């Protein structure tokens, strides 16, 4: 087994791991990123596409926002559609100077990979048998088999677990250390990517008696749609014709609106789950992004929470390497979880506000409609939605 050395070993080449590596590099800290998938796979993996204001600002400040600024689509509002009417939540009025930007997660990943490779950064794709060791000691390490079949031991000061919900890092923490908070929802999302220009300039969140639907987009030529479906639904049950018919039934509920259709490029079913582990650290292992928390996608918070975690971890590591103080590292979990739980509540709230639950619960449906009327009729309530949707400001700047 070959032995190598770096300061920070990062498991996972999603947005969290790549951004962490890039931010550390800009502050003189070395890292190696390990990823079980190929570069082609991670650059084409379609995930989130709504970036908070703070996420956009972070990427620009990090020097990886050139294409984002050129191709991203800023949105200054969203529409809540129900009861045959559309109600716009106007960000420019409610939270002046802040908006969201539609720019696919895979595009963020491409930008970060390009930046790391341009800086001679090391990303090991297609590794296998990844395992973390001695995280409760001052000398942790990661072992893996590289893409050429060679066994490697990567010695380091710190391990960052950015390998997602199903990754190995969280599962390497001894039983009993973590407290798990989770909730499963009685429905899933059928996500569709289609080659058709968006039928609306802004996102539409539509609540109907048939179930929830979301009209989104990725580019001026590519649209993204979601349908609420049963949690055990299969893709075989949803041929293209049925998808378009159901999208029309749930979105063409406002007079004058017509949903444009086109070739479906990709579709998949995503379970709806809320999940948090506490603490987000153990010894020299720090969890970030989906490795530590999952939110239902209704609030568009997953990618943005990963960026927030990475900002906190970057500041803590820079402080430690420069001053020797472990104060920020010791506070990492507590500092992240304040934002995580706020995002969890917002995502749960948006989910319960817009989805159809028990079809026999007439009382619940009336409560839901009353709440929608309040959100769309009260500037104070609409402002609460808007400021959470565009993202609360970060408590501290990046360590310079």
pLDDT above 80 for 378 = yes
The answer to whether 50 and 340 are in contact (CB under 8 A) is: no
Give yes or no: 82 in active site: no
Axis-axis angle for helices 332-354, 362-377 (nearest 10): 110
Question: Residue 351: its pLDDT value, please?
Answer: 97
- Active-site option among 103, 282, 286, 389: 389
3-state secondary structure of 269: strand
- Active-site option among 185, 297, 332, 355: 297
Could you give the angle at the alpha carbon of 34 between the alpha carbons of 129 and 19, nearest 5°?
150
Answer whether residue 252 is part of any domain: no
pLDDT above 90 for 358 = no
Looking at the structure of the chain, the number of domains it has is 1
> Across all residues in the chain, what is the average pLDDT?
96
What is the DSSP annotation of 150-196? -EEEEE-SEEEE-S-TT-HHHHTSPTTS-EEEEEEEEEEEEEEEESS
Question: Residue 400: its pLDDT value, please?
Answer: 79
pLDDT bracket for residue 391 (50, 70, 90)? very high
Q: What is the pLDDT of residues 134-155, one digit of tens each?
A: 999 999 999 999 999 999 999 9
Answer whether residue 255 is part of any domain: no
How far is the C-alpha of 157 from the C-alpha of 170, rounded, in Å? 18
Give yes or no: 87 in active site: no
Q: What is the pLDDT of residues 40-52, one digit of tens each?
A: 999 988 777 899 9
pLDDT bracket for residue 5 (50, 70, 90)? very high
Answer whether residue 262 is part of any domain: no
pTM over 0.85, yes/no = yes
Q: What is the pLDDT of residues 211-267, one digit of tens each?
A: 999 999 999 999 999 999 999 999 999 999 999 999 999 999 999 999 999 999 999
- Active-site option among 22, 75, 110, 293: 75
Give yes or no: 389 in active site: yes
Taking residues 57-85, what's their average pLDDT?
Answer: 97
Answer whether residue 371 is part of any domain: no
Question: Residue 47: its pLDDT value, please?
Answer: 76
pLDDT above 80 for 359 = no
Answer whether residue 375 is part of any domain: no
Domain that holds residue 123: 2-75+101-181+273-357
Q: How many CB atoms lie within 10 A of CB 251?
A: 22
Higher pLDDT, 314 or 358: 314
Answer whether residue 350 is part of any domain: yes
Answer whether residue 224 is part of any domain: no
pLDDT above 80 for 397 = yes
Residue ranges of alpha helices (H) inside the chain are 15-25, 39-44, 53-61, 66-71, 91-94, 105-118, 168-171, 240-251, 302-323, 327-330, 332-354, 362-377, 379-390
Question: Residue 48: its pLDDT value, please?
Answer: 76
- Active-site option among 103, 185, 205, 282: 205
Q: What is the pLDDT of residues 320-339, one digit of tens each?
A: 999 999 999 999 999 999 99
Question: Residue 371: its pLDDT value, please?
Answer: 97
Answer whether residue 207 is part of any domain: no
- Active-site option among 76, 215, 301, 355: 301
Taking residues 353-378, what's their average pLDDT?
Answer: 93
Q: Residue 115 belongs to a domain with what CATH number? A: 3.50.50.60
């Amino acid at each position: 087994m070959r032995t190598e050395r770096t300061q920070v070993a990062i498991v996972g080449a999603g947005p969290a791991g790549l951004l962490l590596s890039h931010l550390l590099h800009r502050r003189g800290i070395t890292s190696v990123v390990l990823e079980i998938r190929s570069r082609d796979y991670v650059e084409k993996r379609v995930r989130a596409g709504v970036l908070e204001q703070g996420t956009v600002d972070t990427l620009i400040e990090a020097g990886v926002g050139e294409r984002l600024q050129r191709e991203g689509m800023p949105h200054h509002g969203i529409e809540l559609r129900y009861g045959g009417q559309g109600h716009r939540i106007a960000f420019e009025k409610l939270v002046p100077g802040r908006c969201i930007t539609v720019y696919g997660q895979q595009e963020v990943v491409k930008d970060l990979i390009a930046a790391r490779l341009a800086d001679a950064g090391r990303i090991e794709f297609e590794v296998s048998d990844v395992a973390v060791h001695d995280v409760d000691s001052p000398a942790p390490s990661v072992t893996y088999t590289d893409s050429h079949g060679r066994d490697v031991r990567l010695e380091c000061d710190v391990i960052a677990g950015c390998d997602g919900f199903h990754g190995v890092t969280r599962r390497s923490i001894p039983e009993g250390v973590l407290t798990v908070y989770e909730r499963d929802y009685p429905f899933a999302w059928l996500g569709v990517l289609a080659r058709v220009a968006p039928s609306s300039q802004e996102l539409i969140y539509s609540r109907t008696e048939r179930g929830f639907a979301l009209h989104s987009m990725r580019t001026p030529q590519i649209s993204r749609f979601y349908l609420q479906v049963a949690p055990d639904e299969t893709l075989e049950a949803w041929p293209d014709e049925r998808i378009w018919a159901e999208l029309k039934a749930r979105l063409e509920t406002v007079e004058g609106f017509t949903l444009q259709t086109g070739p479906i490029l990709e579709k998949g079913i995503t379970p709806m789950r809320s999940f948090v582990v506490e603490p987000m650290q153990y010894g020299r292992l720090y969890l970030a992004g989906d490795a530590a928390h999952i939110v239902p996608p209704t609030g568009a918070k997953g990618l943005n929470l990963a960026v927030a975690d990475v900002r906190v971890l970057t500041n803590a590591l820079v402080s430690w390497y420069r001053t020797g103080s472990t104060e920020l590292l010791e506070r990492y979990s507590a500092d992240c979880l304040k934002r995580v739980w706020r995002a969890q509540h917002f995502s749960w709230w948006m989910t319960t506000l817009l989805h159809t639950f028990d079809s026999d619960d007439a009382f619940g449906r009336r409560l839901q409609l009353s709440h929608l009327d309040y959100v769309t009729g009260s500037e104070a309530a609409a402002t609460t939605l808007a400021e959470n949707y565009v993202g609360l400001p970060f408590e501290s700047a990046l360590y310079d």
